[in-house]
Structure 1
């Protein structure tokens, strides 16, 4: 049994959906304990089939039985326990995707999880659906959504600027590029994501650093080089920010404890 697996939506749907990932203990007879997930700047929509999982965020502990759950942006590592005979299928949505639905105010919704009714979803899906059915449903919905949203909204524009900018960019610089006030950008971004723009940038920078650590030969690439490449002031600054999220140092970081993205 493969505990962690990833699946990818169509190229068109990738504008709003990063990927689908599964945690599968459906044929397991024992609990899988103390696995960790790192923040990555995405929202997650989780379908739990079977018994339950326990999720500990920096704010709360959640007992999540069979059902559908909406997971906010996370700012620190999250601990996950997966009960036997339980499968979790997760749709990972980009930070700007929820901004397509302006009725939701997520300003104060971070490091949190809520259970939702299937009727609240904009598409019809059963929690027992296999991955092929889920992919077909998601692609159909988001490809249609893209046809009616050809132009980027403000939140998507902000995220694209951050992603494409070679150096770390300030809110002031983003404001100039978009011909908008910093106050308006901050307010709109926090309403749509729950994060400040600065915090979103920090999360992306942190994940980029972790990915680089995992894929690099640390004997050849020092922590100082990783820190400077990812626009930290120095190695000490990188280590301090790393500990803020993981509660450990880069040298002591054990990737086997984490569910980490597969290299595509």
Structure 2
């Protein structure tokens, strides 16, 4: 049994759900300690069955027993300890997904986790659901959400522009493209995500750099080349930004300590 695994939703659901991933220590007899997760610009809905996990964010330590938890945008690395006989199944939402539910104001909610009741969710999930059942439930709900909302809202449009421009765009340029004021863009985005547009761009750029480091042959691609390819000013700028998130340097970064996305 693999500790880390990924599952993918339908093409239509992918508009709102990036993927589902699992951390499975349900058959383990020992504690899995000091595993790390990097920010990626997504929200996570964590379903914990069995015993518990312990999560350390930059703001607090969370003891998470069996239940359902909503995880905000993370801006720094997160440390995870998984108890024996415990499974964590995580639904990963894109940054704009919560903007489809305007009653939620996430302006001051980052690097944090809250426990929620299943009745608070717009779709019904059971803590003990298998992955096939969960995929069916998620696809059913988000395919219908996509059908009923064919037009993208402001937050989704902002994210689409950022991704299209490969994170090399300013807020003023986004405003010009959408013909909206920078102030309105910033308010709408922070309310829906908890972070600023600039911070979101920085997170995406950072993750792209990490993925490139992990998947590329560093003997053939220098840190300077990675920095310049991802539009950092120079190698020093890249190293500083890297240390801000991971508290280590690119040269001493050990990918084996992290739960990193599989290359699709």
TM-score range with shorter-chain normalisation?
A: over 0.9
Helix, strand or coil at the partner of 1:251: helix
Is the aligned partner of 1:132 residue 2:138? no
TM-score normalized by structure 2? Answer: 0.99
Q: The residue matched to 1:6 in structure 2 has which SS?
A: strand
Q: CA deviation at 1:168?
A: 1.0
Closer/same/farther in 2, CA of residues 167 and 51 from structure 1, 3 Å limit: closer
| Aligned mates of 1:152, 1:145 — CA distance in 2 | 12
Match of 1:84 in 2: 84
1:155 aligns with 2:146: no
On the 8 A contact 2:167/2:201 being kept in 1, the answer is: no
**Number of the residue aligned with 1:225:** 225
Q: How far, CA to CA, are the matches of 2:178 and 2:146 in structure 1?
A: 22
Q: Could you tell which deviates more after superposition, 180-189 or 162-171? A: 162-171
Alignment of 1:226-241 (within 5 A): 226-241=226-241
CA–CA distance in structure 1, aligned partners of residues 86 and 246 of structure 2 = 26
Whether the 8 Å CA contact 2:46–2:69 is kept in 1: the answer is yes
TM-score with structure 1 setting the length: 0.99
Tell me what 1:6 maps to. Answer: 6
Listed as ranges, the gaps of 5+ residues in structure 2 are none
Q: Which residue of 1 aligns with 2:115?
A: 115
Q: Per-residue displacement from partner, 1:64-117 (whole Å, max 9, x unpaired)?
A: 000000000000000000000000000000000000000000000000000000
Aligned to 2:184: 184
**Deviation string, structure 1 residues 177-221 (Cα, Å, up to 9, x no partner):** 000111110011000000000000000000000000011111111
1:55: which partner in 2?
Answer: 55
CA distance in 2, matches of 1:125, 1:44: 15
Structure 1 unaligned segments of length 5 or more: list them. Answer: none
Matched, 1:172 2:172: yes
How far apart, in 2, do the equivalents of 1:229 and 1:154 lie?
A: 29
**The residue matched to 2:198 in structure 1 has which SS?**
helix
User: Over aligned residue pairs, what C-alpha RMSD do you find?
Assistant: 0.6
Counterpart for residue 194 of structure 1:
194
Distance 1:65 1:132 in 2: 23
Deviation at 1:167, TM superposition (A): 5.9
**SS state at 2:21 partner:** strand
> Per-residue deviation at 1:223?
0.5
- Residues 96 and 164 of structure 1: CA distance in aligned 2, closer, same or farther (over 3 Å): same
